[in-house]
Homo-oligomer: A and B are copies of this chain.
């Protein structure tokens, strides 16, 4: 009897004819072994370019990193163009079409987070250094290292088999770390050029060391700032307290009203469009090697709480939530000050799951607050643009193809997870291109993305290249 594995839930619809170039595993492994040093050296070269998109003093370096990638793709025989935007350029490249086969679009980014605080880096952020099997540099995992696996895998095909078994397109941006301000417009005006059957993104993580993962769902987000105004200036709380409505009191009341004691969000209709967790998903999550006691201990807390009747992973990945991110009002200094503050504010958001719509949530929220506003308080509710969550069916053939490729690349089958965070641009890809998205994370959660000493395991770099090479083959086997 087979051991229960996440793969047992996948029902791939494979083509029996398999009229695609086949790259024998022995040949691929040999090629990859022979090119280890060269690939690592290329990664190092790219990481050395400080492509910090948020800081305009680095803008020539950002462009340099774009050119590096363009040249690299052209050197593989692809057509590669540098597309200017209002900000940093996009790189677009494609291999020749392969009729009858799926088209895959790789998305990634060549820009990196600022490296501060510099003094916390063991070795400088833009002097890539190998220690203990990891390469340390800003961008090592996020996203140059992970992205490069999908470039090197194509090179492996081209240099080993002469061609790719399907068309691969690349759309690589230089503004992911600053919110991709120019990408959505490009996507919506170039749908034909970018047309594809699935989008591959490696900007997430493995579930744990040695447990590669396919992320089949992301939460969306609807982010708000609530500003309450009371009297035109701070008042003496002795003279006025009890007589005049206090915006800080009301802020607490409104925020508290959002969530009941069972962790359920109280806006009418909030859960109407939530796709319930399936039994399969719940079983998958239950089977994951998630050590809750360790999780609690790592956080330094004495316990967890949240929506009742759901496990911790379910609450983090697949259920909507509401978190206050910031609060402010009145006197925050030492000691006492007896004011009735003129203003109070909060930033908070809902994490959303498919098919919740940020706009509907916002409308419900506004009504919820307005109906609870006492005399003496004026409210301003700022609605930052939200993002829908995404969910790829576990039954998708692309998921099946990716699972088999990962098993070949990493030597073990992936687990199927969702992520609680949001990647707004992924929702945009799904919406604009109508394609499934494969979120294939090669990195680790402790790779220090956005922190000092960012790293990427070189073993995972090479496993990622191998998995990606097999992915092209597995995807090419899907009957359209």
B246 in contact with A378 (CB, 8 Å): no
Q: Flag if A316 contacts B242 (CB, 8 Å).
A: yes
Say whether B323 contacts A243, CB under 8 Å: no
A168-187 interface mask toward B, CB cutoff 8 Å, 1 = contact, 0 = none?
A: 00000000000000000000
* Residues in B neighbouring A233, C-beta threshold 8 A: 300
Residue of B263, B326, B335, B420 touching A240 (CB-CB under 8 A): B420
Contact A219 B244 (CB under 8 A): no
- CB <8 Å contact, B327 and A340: no
CB neighbours of A339 from chain B (8 A): 325
Closest Cβ–Cβ distance, residue A22 to chain B (whole Å)? 39
Q: Is A230 an interface residue (CB 8 A)?
A: yes
With a cutoff of 8 Å between Cβ atoms, the chain B residues found around residue A420 in the complex are: 238-243
Contact-residue size bin, chain A (C-beta under 8 Å from the other chain)? 35 or more
Are B330's CB and A376's CB within 8 A? no
Out of B301, B302, B336, which one reaches A347, CB within 8 Å? B336
Min CB gap A101→B, angstroms: 35
For residue A249, CB closer than 8 A to chain B, the reply is: yes
| A339-395 with Cβ < 8 A to chain B | 339-341, 344-347, 349, 351, 374-378, 384
Q: Pick the interface stretch among A91-99, A137-145, A254-262, A397-405.
A: A254-262
Return A259 CB to nearest CB of chain B, in Å. 7
B315 in contact with A243 (CB, 8 Å)? yes
Q: State the Cβ distance, A330 to closest chain B Cβ, in Å.
A: 4
Interfacial residues, chain A to chain B (CB-CB below 8 A): 219, 221, 223, 230-233, 235-246, 248-249, 251-253, 255-257, 259, 263, 299-307, 312-313, 315-316, 319-333, 335-341, 344-347, 349, 351, 374-378, 384, 419-422
